[in-house]
Amino acid sequence: MVRCALVRLVWAVAALTGALLAHAQTAAHPGHPAPAFTLTDVAGHAVQLADFRGRFVVLEWNNPSCPFVHKHYDSGNMQALQKRFTASGVAWLTINSTATAHPEFRKPAELAAWMRHVGGAPTAILLDPEGTVGRAYGARVTPHMMVIDPKGILVYMGAIDDKRSSNPADVKSAMNYVVAALDDAQAGRVVGIGHTQAYGCSIKYAD
């Protein structure tokens, strides 16, 4: 009986180790391929990350109820970034991973209306109510930002800037990590800062 128990323990440890290794291999890390995904946009169309192969892609985790999101939209900062970089061919994908059961969940039409109201200009607004994509990328807060290069490599993940506050006035004096990453990558330079600790409101994932 002892031998059987030991064998079962060894198999359990091996299975757990395999699962952890598999997770480590598929989790998003700067310098590694960005996890593939398909999500539905607010118009009901399927959008794949692969649709933008050959272009830089920005992923912006968003929740209109979050004061840290309001910091960057009320100041006009996020809209300016969206317009600046989409004009140069960057695909800007705004992702909402709020669970449908949470009070802060907004229906597709509501998200679209909010984005129009604030004058946002992302390439697409995507719905991730199951949290599958958010978890694959390790997105923890809104806004959590990612930059993917034309080869599909994640080159930046983390905070939008170095001013960890919800005050719109701080935007003017902040170092914007997303801008720095895109400027480096678009110029063919190695991204100087590839990872930072994101700040904001916790993402309201489904259980």
And the tokens for 146? 């990612």
Tens of pLDDT along 56-72? Answer: 999 999 999 999 999 99
Whole-Å CA distances, 164 to 156, 169, 170: 18, 12, 9
Percent of the chain whose pLDDT exceeds 70: 87
Does the domain made of 31-202 have the CATH classification 3.40.50.300?
no
Query: How much is the mean pLDDT over the chain?
Result: 90
Q: Phi-psi bin for 44: left (phi > 0), alpha (psi -120 to 50), beta? A: left
pLDDT band at 14 (very low <50, low <70, confident <90, very high): very low
d(C-alpha 62, C-alpha 106), whole Å: 11
Is residue 198 over pLDDT 50?
yes
| One-character DSSP codes across 85-151 | HHTTT-EEEEEE---TTSTT---HHHHHHHHHHHT---SEEEE-TT-HHHHHTT--EES-EEEE-TT
d(C-alpha 52, C-alpha 101), whole Å: 31
pLDDT band at 3 (very low <50, low <70, confident <90, very high): very low
Tens of pLDDT along 74-110? Answer: 999 999 999 999 999 999 999 999 999 999 999 999 9
pTM confidence score: 0.87
Domain boundaries, the chain: 1-29, 31-202
Tens of pLDDT along 18-46? Answer: 333 333 334 689 999 999 999 999 999 99
